Structure 1
């Protein structure tokens, strides 16, 4: 009763704030152009849930840092509003050899924020710095498609053996191990950004620790960084495409609490605010709500070294006992979608079409079949009953709600009792790496826009295949797809590979993750991306609003 009353109070309060905010916006939009005042600066106001911890593109791994780097730096390509890679520092698309292994990029006539030219050597230096074993970069794997990149990173080759060469200041040649259809997508990611050797060496360990200890070649520069409070982007006057950048400034507040962010939004102190599942319901039908699908899947992984979960019929029983529609509509209630396979609908295939549309949804809800498979599986592993202690590991955060839902599903649909084990992230990962779990709940965000990003994690040699699931046919399909130059055939092999992992319940996908926001209607062309950086500010404009609170 108390919880219901508090929810009502929260929704009423939020609604009142929203109506007040709408009235203010309407007055500004109606009379702003009649006041005779000069055009206000183009300023966008956002939030982040934490400081960007690492703006060194050779080592960074977190989303907040990706977001900053995507807007103050620029690689050979940049993702557009349709998430397609467009030439950025590259002057047009590269020349590609007949065997599809050699890419030759021409570097456009662009300069860094300090006026120095951007050179092909800046890319060669940065990429080899990622791969240098001394850097200890955990993102080096993103460069492994390049010839001898993995070998150099693991101490089996020299830097000069790596297939990236600056032929001159304006020409960069990249040689791949095998042809891959998604290489241009990779060049838009943080790991593939350029760096200036003189700047990195000048600041040493302090490189990129503050705005004045790095240089920029993107649409904005970073300024006024007050750690744990806020940071600011300002338009880069030296950016090669500055005429297409409308924003003069972007102010980002560090706001860790969703309710606080929404309050700031409704009082006109923010132009965009994130929503979590608890707040989503209050704004579900609001015209300001924007929901986008991430390139992320939530799934269960079983420890197949465990006698009970070594049986595919038992794993399949758990897979069939979950009502994913109920999970996304009653528990998450934030726009997320029930999973039909491992690959999210935002991921495209070689032909530019969503991979999900070229395959089928394999996951069903069938409690009757689930109980039958459980009985058959128990006989096959010579067990008279389900083990008394079945433990599901989960992060000690909002994902506990998902685990509790699963617990109830297993009890109602399988007659199986499950204990929930909430763990801090570091402890949970440690247990998974050491195989000290029965089954676990995992969230995976793809490293690049290709089905392979979500399927190769289940191969026998994958470092994140914590459950040690193994299927020889699956491994062969993935191995073949990594070097297959016939992309249509490769696509069919990846479809078959996904079918195998679902059929054998090597992993059990639950849902595809959505993220919702409140966004003022005068904010235009704020493009969001499913993987790597969440958004691009280059094309954003403020239209229909004459003034903003500073």
Structure 2
């Protein structure tokens, strides 16, 4: 297992839209963080819906987007992802400036003077310790492979090199030098990722396995600290008086509620208990529009929803079986009926808006699943072929398969019931469903205790690699247990070459292997968002990549 902002499939519905607001790169209110000329409410707070309980806030071990958002607000890494004129911009944060050599293989980051929440200085060694801890195979960090771009990062994580061989060193207390394995076209785009937040060795060692499980097991260096965490109910953040740029932070408190039920979230938004939220149901959209109280943010999110298969399973180890289950998905109807048009059918893996330099990948590449459908008009026939190859009864009507769902509320049940009817019609099988909560879902899939399941993914940075690296056999974080040497070669090569045309060609070939040749996953939809934000909320940044930025947010006119 490795890393990624993995989330339950409900992201593609609406609840995660209301919590993460990862999306189309828009911003409400005025530009930047300067509110000196603005009127602001006396009480500065905002109410959000986190959507689900984070599994852990340990920066080395967290995989879900819920933890990623919290860490973005409470930790200050080397850089922060912000927006200017609607475009994502990597801004100075813990590092006030940086430089690199001619080929981009050696970077120097010059840290500013800033402190942890307990008053101690943040140092270059805190960054080195954090990266070493994430790469240490004993940690079992799901985000480790993002750091493979650093010299000896992969070798360390695979147990082939000592920690001290890592290409990072402190030139002094405030100067961090990072040497890469080779030129990396997306390195700077990952410096705002949580893998580059500092960690305190004394705190980690003091709390051990409890680190990141409760607010008092951590120290913070970002705009906010965690004041309280009522599990499965609410997390409260408060403005940090130790933050280096506290003058730019207007919010005194951020109340992150954990509301899983869609109707409850809509009602909370409508009543004003939430200040922003994603909305997918037509009747609610009309209701919110009529109020005239909201700004409506719309557009693609850089993510994808998908069904994935356990290739170790006796049934899904067969490629033709997997292909049948992929083309048996009625994507257009699924996106319309279940996701209420808030997803667009996915016949490829990389979503719209993802670029290779200035080229949009989706505009340059074929859609592999459309080709698979074109060549296999009858999914049931393809399934029978796969069953024969396995020495099983070729009659699909005698086949029962269990679908693992990452939630227990009504949305998940409606989704599962749709898939049951869909697969009965397209494949003739019986689909049973096992409903579990998100942490249990992660554990069962990690351990291979499932046949097929569904999930969503949000990209970490604007490059196709963020979607392809999850299936590299040595570091895979999507638990399909699949290996393909050609795929590994194509994707790892693309990580280390600067030629745009070559990179694009490699990723096209990799996508074909993933979806057409081996059908390891079945993408179902590319999420869009329809997020309503009360007009009194100002300076809410929602970058295309990363998470919502609340550092500069404030409210003006809440009581009107």
TM above 0.5, yes or no, is yes
After superposition, what is the alpha-carbon deviation per residue over 1:263-299, rounded to whole angstroms, capped at 9, x for unaligned? 3333333312454x5x564225733354564443222
Return closer, same or farther for 1:411/1:361 CA change in 2, 3 Å cut-off: same
Distance 1:131 1:547, change over 3 A: same
Q: 1:335 aligns with which of 339, 342, 345?
A: 342
What secondary structure is seen at the aligned counterpart in 1 of 2:355? Answer: coil
SS class of match (2:456) = strand
Task: Say if 2:401 is the partner of 1:391.
Answer: yes
Superposition TM-score, scaled by structure 1 size: 0.78
How many aligned residue pairs are there?
A: 505
**Counterpart of 1:364 in 2: which secondary structure?**
helix
1:145 to 2:161 alignment? no
Q: Does 1:235 align with 2:239?
A: yes
How far has the Cα of 1:192 moved from its partner?
A: 1.6
Pick one of 481, 489, 497 that aligns with 1:476.
489
Unpaired runs of at least 5, structure 1: 1-36
Distance in 2, Cα, partners of 1:308 & 1:137: 30
After superposition, where does 1:22-421 map in structure 2 within 5 Å?
Answer: 40-50=42-52, 52=54, 54-81=56-83, 82-92=87-97, 94-200=98-204, 211=215, 214-225=218-229, 229-275=233-279, 279=281, 281-283=283-285, 286-287=288-289, 288=294, 289-291=296-298, 293-302=300-309, 315-333=322-340, 335-349=342-356, 351=357, 354-364=360-370, 370-372=376-378, 375=381, 378=384, 381=388, 385-387=394-396, 388-395=398-405, 397=408, 398-412=411-425, 414=426, 416-421=428-433
Deviation at 1:142, TM superposition (A): 3.0
Shift, 1:507, TM fit? 2.8
Which position in structure 1 is the counterpart of 2:533?
519
Question: Structure 1's 389 and 433: CA in aligned 2 closer, same or farther, altered over 3 A?
Answer: farther
Structure 2 gap segments, 5+ residues each: 1-38
Alignment check: 8 A CA contact 2:348 2:511 kept: yes
Equivalent residue number for residue 18 of structure 1? none
Asked whether the 8 Å contact 2:55–2:439 carries over to 1, the reply is no
After superposition, the Cα gap between the structure-2 partners of 1:317 and 1:130, relative to the gap in structure 1 and judged at 3 Å, is closer
The answer as to whether partners of 2:115 and 2:221 remain within 8 angstroms in 1 is yes
Question: Structure 2: how far apart are the matches of 1:357 and 1:338?
Answer: 15
Quote the Cα distance in structure 2 between the aligned partners of 1:428 and 1:353. 36
Q: Give the Cα–Cα distance (whole angstroms) in 2 for the partners of residues 204 and 392 of structure 1.
A: 37
What is the CA–CA distance in structure 2 between the aligned matches of 1:137 and 1:120, rounded to whole Å?
21
The separation in 1 between residues aligned to 2:145 and 2:373, in whole angstroms, is 41
Greater CA deviation, 521-530 or 226-235?
226-235
Q: Do 1:313 and 1:373's aligned partners in 2 also have CA atoms closer than 8 Å?
A: no
The two structures, once aligned, show a CA RMSD in angstroms of: 3.7
Call closer, same or farther: CA 1:357–1:108 in 2, change over 3 Å: farther
For the residue of structure 2 that corresponds to 1:80, the secondary structure is: strand
- 1:27 aligned partner: none
Looking at structure 1, the residues matched to 352 and 505 of structure 2 have their Cα atoms a distance apart, in angstroms, of 17
Q: Could you tell me which residue of structure 2 aligns to residue 454 of structure 1?
A: 467
Q: 1:367: how far off?
A: 7.5
TM-score by length of 2: 0.77
What is the distance in 2 between the residues matched to 1:500 and 1:357? 19
Distance 2:63 2:427 in 1: 41
Query: Whose Rg is larger?
Result: 1
